[in-house]
Amino acid sequence: VQCGELVGSLVPGGKRGDEQVKYTKDDGSSSTVPATEFERLGGRGSTRKWRQSLRYVGDDAVGSAESGVPVGRFLREIGAAWRDSVVGRAMEVSVPNDERFYAAEVTGYKADSGEHEIMYADGNRDWIYLCLQTTRWPDGVPPRLAPEAKPTAAQAGEGAVNPKRSSGGGKSKSKGTKGGRGLRFDPSQMARAEAPEPTQPTGPPRGEQAVEGSDGLRAYYTADNETLDEACANLKCDFRDVLAWSRPFVPGLTRHVKLKENTRLWLQEVEVGVEVPPPRREGGGVAEVRTPFVPPAPPTTEGDIAEAMAADSPNQIGEKRKAEGEAGDGD
């Protein structure tokens, strides 16, 4: 990224409001500062909009974002490469200064910024740029979607009202409005976010459908190691609905997590807090147990601080990796 004469790199791991930039100072030493401070050092501090002040100067182009565009636009284009196709997927995130990965689930997407919301196993949520994180995907790295089609000039101008009268000047007034402000805004005409790519069915459902209770609630009992995504594909229903209806009753449920036999999934909305019929079969639940997010405890004494600093030294980390058989930094 570049701001004025300064050139640096966004540091992985930053969450919203804590984005960092690493750059080289005049004396040759490197320094890592908040993105807002990098903006000030580049002479654009009065703007206070670092996503607009900083420019992307890398070689890679994503969508319509090429070298020279504002960083905010570049990050938005990268987020749009996945959009909400990853919502419901399990993932693992590495926390800065911590070699461990923590289980999380993608729970939301913001088209205007390109950010995704993730929820950790303990229920904490963060809005992050996935491209600025070190991640692992147990189900494989999601494929990038094709860029969204932009409306043509003819489509954009369709239905537009000519602001000028055919004879003479003056202001025109649109039909059915006051003050010549044009047609009223119709929320139904807003473009909806593209739905995630559906999983193709592999055959008839492996589990069993059922009708529960006197209210006739529709449910589905899974087969062993069946995922919610697989069940919904074979049932030809939207996994997002089933995930929202079933998650309050199945702790740890995600789109791709494997389930035990006889896990009950709801195929219609069930009001949370209202007593529901007991499951017809015993068992069920999530078959995979992921590592919960437990932030490392801060050192409390001088001895603990010295021990933590020694453990984080490059020599100690290298020895630890060799002992555990891990690859070195160059691999």
Sorted by sequence, the CB contacts under 8 Å of residue 244 that are 6+ apart come out as none
Higher pLDDT, 276 or 310: 276
pLDDT band at 302 (very low <50, low <70, confident <90, very high): low
Is 103 within 8 Å of 293 (Cβ atoms)? yes
Is 9 within 8 Å of 56 (Cβ atoms)? no
Q: What percent of the chain has pLDDT over 90?
A: 9
Residue 253 pairs in a beta bridge with none
User: Which tens digits make up the pLDDT trace of 165-218?
Assistant: 444 444 444 444 444 444 343 434 434 344 456 678 888 889 999 888 877 888
Average pLDDT over residues 245-263: 89
Whole-model pTM: value is 0.46
User: Which tens digits make up the pLDDT trace of 308-321?
Assistant: 566 555 555 556 55
pLDDT band at 305 (very low <50, low <70, confident <90, very high): low
Average pLDDT over residues 243-261: 88
Distance CA(300)–CA(294), nearest Å, equals 17
Tokens 């999601």 -> residue = 142
pLDDT at 263: 93
Distance CA(228)–CA(259), nearest Å, equals 8
DSSP string covering 50-116, please? HHHHSB---S--BTTB-TTSBHHHHHHHHHHTTGGGGTT-EEEEEPTT---EEEEEEEEE-TTT--E
